[in-house]
Structure 1
Amino acid sequence: MTETPGPETAARKTRVALVFGGRSGEHAISAATAAGVMKAIDSDKYEVLPIGITRDGDWVLAAGDASRWELAAGRLPEVTTGSGPALASLGEAGPVDVVFPLLHGPYGEDGTIQGLLELAGVRYVGAGVLASAVGMDKHYMKLVFAGHGLPVAPYVVVRPSEWEQRPEAVVARVQEALEFPVFVKPARAGSSLGVTRVDDLTGLADAIEEARAHDPKVLVEQGVEGREIECAVLGGRGGAAPRASVPGEIVVDHGAATFYDFEAKYLSDSQARTEAPADLPADVAQRVREVAVQAFEAISGEGLSRVDVFVTPDGEVLLNEINTMPGFTPISMYSKMWEASGMSYTELVDELIQLALERPTGLR
């Protein structure tokens, strides 16, 4: 499936398989990410194989140009069995030098496809199996952060059996451990799917049920007074230390949205704007960058991650979460922060591919 470049292959372009779509609720965002990469990738250096995964898990060699997979008003892109020729395996697409798994959420960002590629000995962009799994599950992510002495806000885990059998015990734990407002979210989902802000006890049960529609395991997190700040992390070349971008901030129009939900992220032109660099004191910005790199290293991150933090009014930095395959369209916060740091979207795509090509598969 992979080739070691030699004299007979050195003249051809590096073949990059973009894998997108997938079985999670973030299917459309994954397709939009693929569209952005298809448009930006250096066609003089790379040959692109667009491979889509349907919501049912079928693989196809995706036909059509990048615009087919872009987000548009009133339409979310979707990979179907009619999107191109069916593939029984990645190998049917031809020799592949590196895979760029542009999959968000379960069945892609969580270590599943990373494990498949490790078994097949195929190089790929981004975090490995363990880092992907830890980064996907916000419960274990927070345990790893805390185990490394990194600051996290209080939270309560709601397991499916407990909610189904003893919901009153869950409510009691939330009342004891947290103060309202709280945020209720699926433990293993992203793009703000199923996330609800709850201001009092009356809304808690409905919010948990909404989160459970996306994941049977749910987190209830303490609301934090302060600003939500993000930082993009990029792996270092040749074993060098990870690099952190300038921090960024998404400023939400609170007259339209109570927080940065799915619609504000992807479907609205007016509810939010990105600011990179964020307007922070120099020492706080530096602390955000330090915490972002520490979070990346704590989960053994590779390639790329976006780290989200809270900055309190007194300048304290608290970790919220890490995303090992963040939204990666040209207008996504990850790419915007690197653009503000001096690296264009095309350069960023190239850097990630080169990082993957220099990294061996297997134990490392």
Structure 2
Amino acid sequence: MKIFLIYGGRSAERDISVLSAFSIQNELYYERHVMVPIFIDQAGTWFKGEERTAPFASSEEMVLSKEGRGQVVSPAVLQEEDAVAIPCLHGPYGEDGTIQGLLEVLGIPYVGCGVLASACGMDKIVTKYLFQQVGLPQLPFVPITKWEWDNYPTSVYGKCEGSLVYPMFVKPANLGSSVGISKANDRDELTAAINLAFQFDSRIVIELGIEAREVECAVLGHEDIHTSVVGELGKEKGFYDYDEKYINNDVKLIIPAPISEEISQKIRQYAKEAFEVIDGSGLARCDFFLTANDEIYINEVNTFPGFTKFSMYPKLWEVTGLQYHDLIENLIELAIKRFKQKNALHQTRSDVSEGE
């Protein structure tokens, strides 16, 4: 089977995408598959590399361009029989339903969540409203638009300080990997945090900050949904930014998390419910806060979480009993299953015979 590994992209998380893709291509079963690298640069140009029956030796080799290895192609290059796409893209223009919509139009099976789940999971504000509808516990939050901030900053301060207390966390609505996220302990820091977040998105969310552990649960499946053991981010300080998570690798993963079986089962159940409410399929990582009093608050759902060699998602499954290479194979099989099920549905009224 031909595996189109799509990575890079236009978002601020493109570097993590390359590292994730490098780890994935290292773990493919090359006796079963041929891997075709598809690199998308910052301008949105698609570059296709040569078919490979062995992985690249370094992530740097995977950055394709006109000057080096790589041929400029259109997305239509993916339309081949017996092929599956792995859209290993984080953030906007990849994890947000856009690439998924393109793959749906092209009629290509692909790994991960569909258009709806990807779009909802990427948008922190939308997911919070969905979580409210099904009663998942979460922290108070205030959504803000760039227009509102530019025209009515006093109203924004009133909303935040009227319903939340410091510290607050300010986040772009459609971004991950801690890009553009800041902690604000007073109004001056809130102002700076809001201005930073609006550099990455036109909508942001401001959340109540609490003292809590950060725990995460991996989800895998299509109709039959499975959850992993719960892991914890071991932190020496309250907040880790992008560099500390991915460049310096300062975050320690504690798997399984030192929590009771009762709390673990609650978190796993909440993760399954969150996956279901966004219509998830394939994979997701659900992130939670856990207080000293064992209060659980869901934070967000990542529909294509980091897949680097030190990322939480594959390590959670490894401890649960599913090795990295088998995890990738499982995801490919789930992609094919979903694709076949969708193709079996009636697409037009003429497909349905009289009496049905």
Structure-1 residue corresponding to 2:353: none
**Shift of residue 62 of structure 1?**
3.3
User: Which among 236, 248, 252 is matched to residue 253 of structure 1?
Assistant: 236
Amino acid at match of 2:155: A
Q: Which residue of 2 aligns with 1:306?
A: 285
Aligned residue number for residue 106 of structure 1: 92
Question: After TM superposition, which residue ranges in structure 1, 4 or more long, deviate above 6 angstroms?
Answer: none
Of residues 108, 119, 123, the one that matches 2:109 is: 123
Match of 1:50 among 25, 31, 37: 37
Tell me if structure 2 keeps the 8 A contact 1:326–1:334: yes
The residue type paired with residue 32 of structure 1 is: L
Identify the residue that residue 166 of structure 1 maps to in structure 2. Answer: 152
Percent identity between the aligned chains? 40
Q: 1:39 aligns with which of 26, 37, 54?
A: 26
1:95 to partner: Cα distance: 4.5
1:266 Cα deviation after fit? 0.7
CA shift, 1:96, in A, is 5.4
Q: TM-score, normalised by structure 1?
A: 0.89
Return the letter of the residue paired with 1:288.
Answer: I
Which residue pairs with 2:179 in the alignment? Answer: 193
How big is the alpha-carbon RMSD for the aligned residues of Structure 1 and Structure 2? Answer: 1.9
Given the superposition, is the C-alpha separation of residues 148 and 206 from structure 1 closer, same or farther in structure 2, using an over 3 Å criterion? Answer: same
Query: Tell me, what secondary structure is at the counterpart of 1:218?
Result: strand
The 2-side partners of 1:150 and 1:313 are apart by: 19
* Counterpart AA for 1:42: Y
Matched, 1:278 2:257: yes
Q: Match for 2:337: what amino acid? A: E
* Residue type of the alignment partner of 1:41: L
Which one-letter code corresponds to 2:19 in the other structure?
A: A
Letter in structure 2 aligned against 1:351: N
- Alpha-carbon distance in 1 for matches of 2:256, 2:139: 24
The equivalent residue for 2:197 is: 211
Residue aligning to 1:3:
none
C-alpha separation in 1, matches of 2:39 and 2:76: 11
Larger mean Cα displacement after TM superposition, 138-147 or 222-231:
222-231
Please report how far the alpha carbon of residue 150 of structure 1 lies from its aligned counterpart in structure 2 after TM superposition. Answer: 1.0
Q: Alpha-carbon deviation of 1:261?
A: 1.4
Contact kept in structure 1, 2:227 and 2:272, CA below 8 Å: yes
Deviations 1:262-283 (A, max 9, x none): 11211114x3211110110111
Cα distance in 2 between the residues matched to 1:355 and 1:243: 13
- Partners of 1:89 and 1:103 lie apart in 2 by 15
CA contact (8 A) 1:229 1:310 kept: yes
> SS state of the match for residue 305, structure 1?
strand
Match of 2:118, SS? Answer: helix
Q: Are 1:66 and 2:56 matched, yes or no? A: yes
**Alpha-carbon displacement from aligned partner over 1:240-264 (angstroms, at most 9, x marks no partner):** 2x1000000111222xxx4121112
How many residues end up aligned between the 2 structures? 339
Gaps of 5+ in 2: 346-356
